[in-house]
Each structure stands twice: as C-alpha cells, then as structure tokens.
Amino acid sequence: MDKDLLRIVIISIGAVVILGMVIWSIVKNKNTRRDIDFYDKGNPLDNIDSSLILSTENDDFDIVPLGSALDDQYEPDPITAASEIDIEPEQELEPEIQPAQPEIIELPSIIQFSIVASADKGFNGKVLADMFQRVGLKYGSMKVFERLDDQNRVDYAVASMVDPGTFPETDLESFNSPGIVFFLQPGELDRPLEIFDDYIQTINWLANELGGVMWDHNRQPLTNETVNAFRMSLSA
C-alpha cells in the first residue's frame, strides 16, 4: 500500500473516532442539550469515503507513528517545540555599582602642587612673569608671585624650584627654572574651598599654556581624584 495513502487513512480514522466520541456524548446528554445542531443534519460517519477505511489484516507494511512520519516534512508543532526549549534559570542581577566617593584626606598645613617643565631648559623667567601677569599674580616683597584678595592678603603664592625659590627682580630673560611650586595655607583662609578652586584653575591654565606637567603634594601626577579628595576635606 502507498504510504502516503496510509497516512491519510490513519488521520481519517482518528477523525472518525473523535467524531464518534462527540456523538456519543451528545446522545448521552440529549435531555440537556437538545439545541445542538451538526452541520450535516445527520450522522457524520455517513460522509466518510469507504475507500479510506483501513483494514490491516492482509497488508504487509510498517505502521509509522504519525508524529515521526511528519518530522522530515514539517516543523514541529508549537507546543512540542516549546517543551523542548531549554530555559535557562533566571540570572541574578548584579548589584548596581555606585561611583566611588572621593576619600577625605587629612589636610596638610600647606598644600603644595607643582608644574614641572617638559623641556630640558625649563621655563624661561620672562615667559613665566608674562603668564603670571595674565592670571593676576603679582610679584611680592618675598620675591615670589602671589594671589592677593581685596584686602591685599595673600591667598596663595608661586615660587621657583631653583634654590632659594625666589624669582629675580631683573634680567628675567636669562633666568630659567625647571618648575614652579604653588603654596596654599587652608587654615589661614576665610574661604578655603573657593580659593582652592581658583588655585586649581590657575595651575591648570598655566600648565596648559607652559606645556608643563602637574604634580601633587607627593610629587605624583595630579589627578582629578586627588583634587576632589582635597575639596571634600576642605568642605567637611
């Protein structure tokens, strides 16, 4: 027997069995469901073609389960496919990483940040004096450049890295320094945080203009983390 025809017959028999069960259920409950009406107004089995009724007594063939007979031609039904999907266990959400808060450090009596020249010849004295003037630093009686407040009090000062740390009053063109050091005494200031911000802004601007490298109080590259740590301590 043709196997394709066999498949059709097996499917048809399954349909007949289902319809028979439906009819039996209706007859059994006819007293309570008299209003039910089949689409063909008669016995559904009468509409089945007799040639589709299968007799297996004299046939020599392998009966193939319906499920496997369709495997090579059609996609699996959605319910079967869904049951075969490996569902991974729900992953635990990692805790949200909060930004690290700046560490509050113990303030030194004098905050010393520096700018070191990248070139071997260092910073020229005349160039330094011109740059200091542009940011409002004035040459003072201690022979260093100073930031003065409205009452002529020193907020912070800038010295040379050449011993004894002073700048010459004259002949600045022939003076060179490998770097400059900024001094700020937070304990002597009325507005230490505000002045510290100006101090950092001045150092940043001069470092960019002079082409120097900023150092912190430990003679390490000055970082935003260090600056923020000092700001936190000043505002505490």
How many domains are there within the chain?
Answer: 2
Q: pLDDT tens digit string along 33-53?
A: 333 343 344 444 344 333 333
Q: How far does CA 173 lie from the centroid of its chain?
A: 52
119 shares its domain with 216: yes
- The neighbour count for residue 44, using CB atoms within 10 Å, is 16
Domain around 75: 3-83
164 shares its domain with 220: yes
Instruction: Give the pLDDT of residue 219.
Output: 93
Residues of the chain with pLDDT under 50: 6, 9, 27, 30-74, 77-83, 85, 87
For residue 139, what is the domain's CATH number?
3.30.1400.10
72 shares its domain with 117: no
Instruction: Give the pLDDT of residue 69.
Output: 38
Q: What is each CA distance from 1 to 6, 56, 58, 59, 233, in whole angstroms?
A: 7, 10, 11, 7, 94
Residue 92 lies in a domain: no
pTM of the model: 0.57
134 shares its domain with 79: no
117 shares its domain with 53: no
* Contact by Cβ (8 Å): 196, 231: yes
Judged on CB neighbours under 10 Å (0-12, 13-18, 19+), 193 is middle
75 shares its domain with 133: no
Distant-in-sequence, close-in-space partners of 206: CB < 8 Å, separation ≥ 6: 115, 131, 135, 180, 212
Instruction: Give the pLDDT of residue 13.
Output: 56
Residue 100 lies in a domain: no
**Amino acid, single-letter form, for residue 202:** T
225 shares its domain with 150: yes
Residue 64 lies in a domain: yes
Distance CA 141, CA 49 (A): 121
Residue 147 lies in a domain: yes
Q: Would you call 215 helix, strand, or coil by DSSP? A: strand
Task: Return the structure tokens found at 56.
Answer: 């297996």
Region class of 193: left (phi > 0), else alpha (psi between -120 and 50), else beta? alpha
158 shares its domain with 49: no
10 shares its domain with 66: yes
Mean pLDDT of the chain: 75
Instruction: Give the pLDDT of residue 200.
Output: 98
Residue 188 lies in a domain: yes
Last residue of a domain, one of 83, 103, 134: 83
Residue 230 lies in a domain: yes
Residue 103 lies in a domain: no
Distance CA 101, CA 107 (A): 17
DSSP bridge pairs for 182? 113, 158
**Which residue is listed with tokens 């009452």?**
151
36 shares its domain with 136: no
Q: Where are the beta strands (DSSP E) in 86-225?
A: 111-117, 123-124, 138-139, 145-148, 154-160, 176-177, 179-184, 212-215
Task: Return the structure tokens found at 104.
Answer: 């509050």
119 shares its domain with 222: yes
Last residue of a domain, one of 83, 103, 125: 83
Instruction: Give the pLDDT of residue 92.
Output: 55
